[in-house]
Structure 1
């Protein structure tokens, strides 16, 4: 039963990781857009950094849950 829970958590963390990656990439594009205002670009850069942190946390958590599910 615990293995099933770890597998579900792995899937959830993996989906969150991919979502963070997509959001990060979108924010990076806005930050690079010379047609956007400076404020918009700065906010997008800040958001991209935040998404990068979330991406790394979700990746680490997914890896832990993956290993737990194997045991």
Structure 2
């Protein structure tokens, strides 16, 4: 039963990590857009940093659940 829970949690964290990656990339593109207003670009840069932190957290949690599911 724990193996199933860990597998489900692994998938959940992997999907969440992928969502954070997509958001990070979108925010990076806005931050680089010279046609966007400066405040928008700055906010997108800060949001990209937050997304990167979220991405790393989800990926770490996914790795933990993946290893736990193996045992």
For the aligned residue pairs, the C-alpha RMSD in angstroms reads: 0.3
Q: Which runs of 4+ in 1 moved over 6 A?
A: none
TM-score of the superposition, structure 2-length normalised?
0.99
**Which residues of structure 1 form unaligned runs of 5+?**
none
* 1:21 maps onto 2:46 in alignment: no
Which runs of 5 or more structure 2 residues have no equivalent in the other structure? none
Instruction: Specify the alignment match of 1:12 in structure 2.
Output: 12
Number of equivalences:
71
TM-score calculated relative to the size of structure 1: 0.99
**Matches of residues 55-66 of structure 1 in structure 2 within 5 Å?**
55-66=55-66
Secondary structure of the residue aligned to 1:36 is coil
Q: Please list the CA deviations of residues 1-46 of structure 1 after superposition, one character each: whole Å capped at 9, or x if unmatched.
A: 0100000000000000000000000000000000000000000000
